[in-house]
Amino acid sequence: MAGHSHAANVAARKNSVDAKRGKLFSKLCRAIYVAARTGGADPAMNLRLRYAIDKAKAFSCPKDNIERSIKKATGELGAETYEEVIYEGYGPGGVAVLCEILTDNRNRTAGEVRRAFDICGGNLGSTGCVSYLFDYKGVFLIEATKIEEDRLMEISLESGADDLKRDGDYFVVTCDPKAFDDVQKAFEGHGIPTESAETSYIPQTTVDLDVDNGRRMLKLRDLLDDNDDVQNIYSNENIPEEAMAS
């Protein structure tokens, strides 16, 4: 299992929906709220809101939850205030970790995230300590059985994508975030279904972990994922199968 495998990350999130459904919906709705609050409530005019809604729908978030989050953002149901923060740190074995945060209390969240790192043998770092090890990209995940690779490559490059790679049962298409909407519209126009479509931090290099550090890294991810304020976790580890199975 690799922290940088987008297909593995998406599959893991979907497999954990039943176990953590309430927390997941809370995070998805919080992202919708912030997107609507900062860019307006019309997804046709607010690309970030459209992405957030599409992601929520992909995880079967109830329509009422989505609409309620937008109404809160517009003040119809009372306002909330969230701050967007990125925390950076080092996990077990020197793994680089980025956490995207939405919080109404930055001091509380920083303390909770720091404790998670400490428990697992890592440490929370300063701004910029590991972000240079990642590239910010638009990422599309497409089932390999849905389209021929050559055809997908042609459509992807014509619409402004940077690259296409095979990752297990999926094709992974990456692009500059500024080209995200053009690529997504091209896929929609050609009837190409996407398993996921989002912006993500892609590691430039990876760190191979031994079994013990692999287990610690899995625990760190679990602790961070259990925190309602942590929206997304990006890391650059390769975890041995033995650590995954134990």
Angstrom distance (rounded) from CA 24 to CA 196: 16
Angstrom distance (rounded) from CA 66 to CA 57: 9
Domains along the chain with CATH numbers: 6-74 (1.10.10.200), 83-129+205-239 (3.30.70.980), 133-203 (3.30.70.980)
pTM for this entry: 0.81
Angstrom distance (rounded) from CA 143 to CA 170: 4
Q: What are the pLDDT tens digits along the chain (246 aa)?
A: 455 566 666 555 555 555 577 788 988 998 899 889 888 999 988 888 988 998 899 889 999 999 999 998 888 877 678 889 999 999 999 999 999 999 989 999 999 999 999 999 999 999 999 999 999 999 999 999 999 999 999 999 999 999 999 999 999 999 999 999 899 999 999 999 998 888 899 999 999 999 999 999 999 999 999 999 999 999 999 999 998 876
234 contacts 200 by C-beta, under 8 angstroms: yes
Angstrom distance (rounded) from CA 140 to CA 200: 10
